Chain A
């Protein structure tokens, strides 16, 4: 059996008045059944757009302009309305960032759960409610029977995100795309929800694409990581390799910017400069203005994601794998 999901050379553009804006520029990655992938990168890198592109749900001026999304052997980018509808919420679910905004304020939790099941299978309301109750118990909502009749505003943020997780699990999907599922929550609740999500994905054998800019979280949850920068994947590999031995200077910068657990209170190392906006992406490697190891070629040629000799990670950088490998030590001098 092939991969569960294979995203290949995905390209998303936004048709704006001034012309087309390329938000995703050739993103590729794969995910196997039950596997968990972290999609990390700074704000605006294109993580959310990638997530929505997988289920073909880019909002209006945006469109998929190239590439394929092979899910379970089928190319989703070619699916029409009804075919795509049957994928969403059924085979691939999404969890959004802010649970205060995700649930419809004028419909009960029960309605919002039952309709999801009824959208994908021929099932009575009673039978659907039974499944809904089972999933609410899985996400540890107390007295779920009573909760089905309630409206979203009767729940706290953490509870709402549990309900959203339960909705995502309703149809036993093969893949869940969680777009920053804990960023909008209280710090104390963040870990709870993340742990719940991890547990459920493990016990149900559900694949997970976890979108976040928190490397600390992905390192605990996912097996693989893809690092995005300005609409491209700049480095991809196994989680431990990326965390312990990052190759791309951008990834190295991200890891260095993590608060150091061993020496709390030390200054955080931010990568100098900001990610370019999509309107003025520099020619060549889009990271080169901020790069510490750039060479001449970086100014005019865009690097492709490739295997780096001697390493397991893939990286998109001209300066890697050259005769003289730039190491941590070199740059410190």
Chain B
């Protein structure tokens, strides 16, 4: 397990270096750090002096190494618009996005597991057909459309739920949380449903197909022959084996969810990283864009590494090979 974890973490670092290279190249091509620091109203000579001082005339590789070194120390450059370090800007927006992603993941996990298992056990009955039919409709509607439909029904027509913003938040140790107030939770509901709508059908289908395959195996048949109860066979024998592939694919998909927050946050005016990203695009705030890419990349890598390690914990084969 330890060796396995070390290997996974090494891979994660390599991926981060590549993401860093990508971000740095974007910055080299279209960014202008001088503008980020002093703005546009400074003479050409002064700018050239500053360029030299900042090391912007050094070779590419030297600058890349410097970029990575700074990044490791938490310095991802200055935001032109906010006049603050980009990492600081992003971190102030991160709680909103992470809470949204967390709530969506929760909805996805809590719904897809029972629905996936149910439709696998009863592949042909009417409820299963409705669930599977609904899931096709679900994947084919884009997130922003789902969001608009939800807003129209629950906010505009029924007035049940608010349609934008995060509502009342509580600050605990610098984390702006909407989880702790009723108003915050009410605001969270529609965006998280909209965000989960794209992945939920995918997860139901994934769990269903993996579960159906597992139900056909010899060891499940043997479990029946041992006279175990159906619940134990479905939820322990079959589902535990279904989990392995679901964790692998599911981990990646939950990471991709972060990308969809850009759309969801924009529609719901949700003050998170995704909303910030679109604003940064409009303002050509290159440093902030690059910092966003790196932070989201890091998040993605961290999620995947954790998922892989959980996989190792569920799968005894991985645990043993790691022990050697």
Stretch of A65-73, A97-105, A138-146 lying at the B interface: A97-105
Known pairs A96-B221, A105-B241; A119 contacts B227 (CB<8 A): yes
**Given contacts A98-B218, A119-B228, are A104 and B223 in contact (CB under 8 A)?**
yes
Q: Contact: A101 with B227, CB < 8 Å?
A: no
Q: Which residues of B contact A88 (CB under 8 A)?
A: 224-227
Residue numbers in B under 8 Å from A119 (CB-CB) = 226-229, 232
What is the interface of chain B, defined by CB distance below 8 A to chain A?
216-230, 232, 236-237, 240-241, 244, 314-317, 320
Q: Please, what's the 1-or-0 string for A69-94, where 1 marks a CB less than 8 Å from any CB in chain B?
A: 00000000000010001111110011
Point out the residues of chain B lying under 8 angstroms from A85, CB to CB.
227-229
Residues of B within 8 A of A8 (CB): none
**Closest Cβ neighbor of A97 among chain B residues:** B218
Taking the complex as formed, is A166 at the interface, i.e. its CB lies under 8 A from any CB of chain B?
no
Whether A223 is near chain B, meaning CB under 8 Å from some CB there, is: no
Q: How many residues on the A side are at the interface (Cβ–Cβ under 8 A)?
A: 30
Contact A153 B317 (CB under 8 A): yes
A116 near B241 with CB under 8 A, answer: no
With A86-B227, A88-B224, A119-B229 known to touch, is A107 a contact of B240 (CB < 8 Å)? Answer: yes
User: Is B316 touching A116 in the complex (CB atoms < 8 A)?
Assistant: no
Inside 8 A of B315's CB, which chain A residues have their CB? 106
Evaluate contact between A89 and B241: CB separation under 8 angstroms. Answer: no
| List of B residues within 8 angstroms of A330 by Cβ | none
Interface residue A147 (Cβ < 8 Å from any Cβ of B): no
Rank and list the top 10 A-B pairs by shortest CB-CB distance, nearest first.
Answer: A89-B227, A88-B227, A89-B226, A101-B218, A151-B316, A94-B225, A104-B219, A116-B226, A102-B222, A85-B227
* Residue in chain A with minimal CB distance to B219: A104
A154 proximity list for chain B (CB < 8 A): 320
Question: Could you pull out 14 A-B pairs where Cβ atoms are within 8 angstroms?
Answer: A57-B221, A87-B227, A89-B227, A93-B225, A94-B225, A102-B222, A103-B222, A106-B314, A107-B240, A119-B226, A119-B228, A119-B232, A151-B316, A153-B320
Which residues on the B side are within 8 Å of A86 (C-beta)?
227
Return B240 CB to nearest CB of chain A, in Å: 5
Question: Nearest Cβ in chain A — how far from B320, in angstroms?
Answer: 7
Q: Report the separation of the CA atoms of residues A120 and B218 in the bound assembly, to the nearest whole angstrom.
A: 21
Set of chain A residues within 8 Å of B228, measured between Cβ atoms: 85, 89, 115-116, 119
